[in-house]
């Protein structure tokens, strides 16, 4: 893209962002009696750890369930004598072409990078840490033989970690129905830091998009990949979007599944056209974009 064309794109998109910010500020003043969501008011760091598994074709339904059960049991693991992780999971239900080929995904959250490093523990080729989570280490030894590590499209496992730009638990709502939508991006090699930031800012601005005149996206957060496990598949920046219904997610995704006026989010549709020019999606979209959606399961 020529520099002049890029500058024009950025100016246009910046104008949109400024208008959104102005509308949001006015809305905040008009809604002064609204109480903040308690799950977002805690001034604490949060590390998001996404893990996706692809099983061998020979793995049975019973074995898959055992993987889920044992992973979820890691919530009982201790550090300094106290529980230190929160875990949710779900089965892929995205419709988009970039949904990949993973069977089950887990969202693990930590209060610090130190806790994340304790959890990850041993990494091949590196010295064994003085202290690590033995329960998780045992799980890795159990699940490894069940994963399709020879699948070139998945490598059997994907891990994406980031320090969230948001505070609090990041779980809105904490209980009840929630559908989480993860989007991971890999940029083209020649994309500048300014262009990357424009892509990030544009994504975060989608939080102000509306459905039937009302904001409908519960949360958008992002961060740059900081996993140490070497299973990030080249993705550089990740976003997690939360919806209160599958219908809201479908409205967000929109085209080509929903094309009639009023059935899709025009703001997201315009953003997608803007962002794709910077993503490494040729010749395969999954090279530059990975999407994982699921209805959140907490048990």
Q: Tell me the per-residue pLDDT of 214-258, one tens digit each, with 9 for 90 and over.
A: 999 999 999 999 999 999 999 999 999 999 999 999 999 999 999
What average pLDDT is seen over the chain? Answer: 88
What's the CA gap between 78 and 86, in Å, rounded? Answer: 12
Two tokens, residue 119: 């959890």
Burial of residue 77 (number of CB atoms within 10 Å: 0-12, 13-18, 19+) = middle
- Residue 205, pLDDT score: 98
The domain ranges of the chain are: 3-18+43-295
Q: Any idea what the Cα angle at residue 89 is, between residues 88 and 94, rounded to 5°? A: 130
- Residue 18, pLDDT score: 41
With 70 as the cut, is the pLDDT of residue 297 above it?
yes
243: left (phi over 0), alpha (psi -120 to 50) or beta: beta
pLDDT in tens, 96-125: 999 999 999 999 999 999 999 999 999 988
How many other CB atoms sit within 10 Å of the CB of residue 256?
10
What's the CA gap between 77 and 79, in Å, rounded? Answer: 7
For residues 143-150, give the mean pLDDT: 97
**Which CATH number is associated with domain 3-18+43-295?**
3.30.70.100
43 pLDDT tier (thresholds 50, 70, 90):
low
């Amino acid at each position: 893209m020529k520099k002049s064309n890029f500058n024009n794109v950025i100016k246009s998109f910046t104008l949109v962002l400024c208008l959104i910010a102005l509308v949001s500020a006015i809305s905040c003043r008009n809604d002064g009696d609204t109480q903040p969501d308690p799950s977002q008011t805690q001034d604490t760091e949060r590390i998001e750890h996404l893990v996706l598994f692809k099983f061998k074709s020979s793995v049975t339904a019973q074995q898959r369930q055992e993987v889920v059960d044992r992973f979820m049991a890691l919530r009982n693991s201790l550090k300094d004598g106290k529980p230190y992780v929160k875990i949710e999971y779900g089965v892929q239900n995205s419709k988009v072409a970039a949904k990949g080929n993973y069977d089950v995904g887990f969202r693990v959250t930590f209060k610090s990078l130190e806790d994340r490093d304790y959890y990850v523990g041993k990494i091949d080729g590196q010295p064994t840490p003085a202290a690590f989570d033995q329960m998780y280490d045992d799980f890795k030894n159990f699940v490894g033989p069940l994963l399709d590590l020879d699948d070139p499209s998945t490598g059997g496992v994907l891990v994406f970690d980031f320090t969230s730009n948001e505070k609090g638990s990041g779980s809105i709502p904490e209980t009840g129905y929630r559908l989480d939508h993860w989007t991971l991006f890999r940029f083209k090699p020649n994309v500048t830091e300014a262009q990357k930031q424009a892509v990030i800012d544009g994504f975060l601005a989608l939080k102000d998009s509306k459905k039937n005149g009302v904001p409908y996206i519960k949360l958008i957060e992002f961060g740059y990949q900081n996993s140490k496990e070497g299973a990030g598949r080249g993705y550089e920046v990740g976003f997690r979007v939360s919806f209160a219904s599958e219908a809201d997610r479908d409205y967000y995704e929109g085209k080509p599944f929903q094309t009639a006026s009023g059935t899709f989010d025009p703001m997201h549709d315009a953003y997608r056209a803007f962002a794709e020019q910077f993503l490494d999606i040729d010749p395969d979209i999954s090279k530059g974009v990975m999407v994982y959606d699921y209805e959140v399961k907490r048990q």
